[in-house]
Amino acid sequence: MTGRVPIRLDVNGRPRSIEVAAHHTLLDVLREDLGLTGTKECCLVGECGSCTVLIDGRSVDSCLVLGVEADGAAVTTVEGLAADGALSAVQQAFLDTGAAQCGFCIPGQVLSAHALLATSPHPSREEVEEGLAGNLCRCAGYEQIIEAVLLAADAGKKARPAAPRSPAPGTDVASRPDAEVAPQ
């Protein structure tokens, strides 16, 4: 199928009305149509978690969801976590523990951590391991990643997905690329 289909998304708090290729995944839509390349592309079969985003608060492999299936959803990508310039508690904890090595898996790890802490603010180590089990790290930095999630939880910094933001009155943000307002 080659036709394009109109969909509406809330992406990182910004309403977007776009036409997408019917066969494109949400990962394609985010990276190619919206320029949000913080969401990483790797296995494309739901095995690695590099493409993890939040859909209505739940962590999802965006390579397994068609863009048209996400019509009407609220999507949070890594760009949405620090759109106002301040790192989320989870991002800060990853920084503090040196959890990022090559960094490729980190956006997905961080979003899975956000989803976990939103429902379980004080998880055990086992719960963290289970919550991030779908996110592979080829640098094998698991110890620091788990430490980061526990640090964010222990600090009492309740990590949540970025709350949807309303554009300022008269500001046509929907017509601007996300990259202009949310550096990656």
**Least distance from ligand FES to the Cβ atom of residue 145, Å:** 8
HEC sequence for 48-73 = CCCCEEEECCEEEEHHHCEHHHHCCC
109/118 Cα distance (integer angstroms): 14
Is 42 a binding residue for ligand FES by CB under 6 A? The answer is yes
Q: Does 69 bind ligand FES (CB under 6 A)?
A: no
- Residue 20 or 65 with smaller CB distance to ligand FES: 65
Site for ligand FES in 72-131 (CB under 6 A): 100-106
**Number of residues in contact with ligand FES under rule CB under 6 A:** 23
Chosen residue from 32, 41, 96, 129 binding ligand FES by CB under 6 A:
41
Contact segment (CB under 6 A) with ligand FES among 36-44, 74-82, 148-156, 167-175 equals 36-44
Q: Which two tokens stand for residue 85?
A: 């310039």
Please tell me the chain's helix, strand, coil percentages from 3-state DSSP, rounded to the nearest 5. 40, 15, 45
Among positions 6, 8, 23, 43, the unique one binding ligand FES when judged by CB under 6 A: 43
Q: How far apart are CA 111 and CA 116, in angstroms?
A: 9
Q: Site for ligand FES (CB under 6 A): which residue of 9, 29, 36, 48?
A: 48
First and final C-alpha spacing in the chain: 32
Distance, in Å, from the CA atom of 99 to the CA atom of 93, rounded to the nearest integer, reads 8
> Binding segment for ligand FES among 8-16, 116-124, 133-141, 146-154 (CB under 6 A)?
133-141
CB closer to ligand FES, 15 vs 134: 134
Asked if 142 interacts with ligand FES (CB under 6 A), we say no
How distant is the alpha carbon of residue 164 from its chain centre? 13
> Would you count residue 32 as binding ligand FES (CB under 6 A)?
no
Pairing of strands 14-21, 58-61: unpaired
Using rule CB under 6 A, residue 37 touches ligand FES? no
Residue 73 gets the label, from left (phi > 0), alpha (psi -120 to 50) or beta, of beta
Which residues are near ligand FES by CB under 6 A? 41-44, 46-51, 61, 63, 100-106, 137-139, 141
